[in-house]
Amino acid sequence: CMDKAERLDYGESLMTHAMVLEGVRLDEKGEPTLWKVENSWGKDHGRDGFDTLSDAWFDEYAYQVVVDKKYLTEEERHTYETEEPTVLAPWDPMGSLA
């Protein structure tokens, strides 16, 4: 019954796993509906090591995404190049996967 922020605050959810995004299914408006991911648990998991996850699942359980700068919009690139980074405290839950 907790939302994403509350799960982080109370330690019910952590960033402890990484996956590679392999593909996305878009609806007629160009919005993502399903994501194909390669899971790091190996070929015995899912379908030969791959899972299909809903966009709603990512909204609820994905916390960080690494994106090549060439895929950023102009606005995102400008923010990346001009804003000062936020330095997190060592105990911040956003650093648990680092």
Write the pLDDT tens digit of every residue in 48-95.
889 999 999 988 888 888 889 999 999 999 999 999 988 888 777 776
Write the pLDDT tens digit of every residue in 60-71.
888 888 889 999
How many domains does the chain divide into?
1
* Residues sharing a CB contact under 8 Å with residue 47, sequence separation 6 or more, in sequence order: none
Contact 33, 54 (CB under 8 A): yes
Cα 77-18-57 angle, rounded to 5 deg:
85
**pLDDT confidence bin for 44, thresholds 50/70/90:** confident
Query: How far is residue 23's CA from residue 8's CA, in Å, rounded to a whole number?
Result: 27
Query: What CATH number did the domain enclosing 67 receive?
Result: 2.40.50
Arithmetic mean of pLDDT, 15-43: 90
pTM: 0.69
Q: Show the domain range for 41.
A: 4-84+91-95
Q: Which residue, 65, 63, 88, is CA-closest to 7?
A: 63
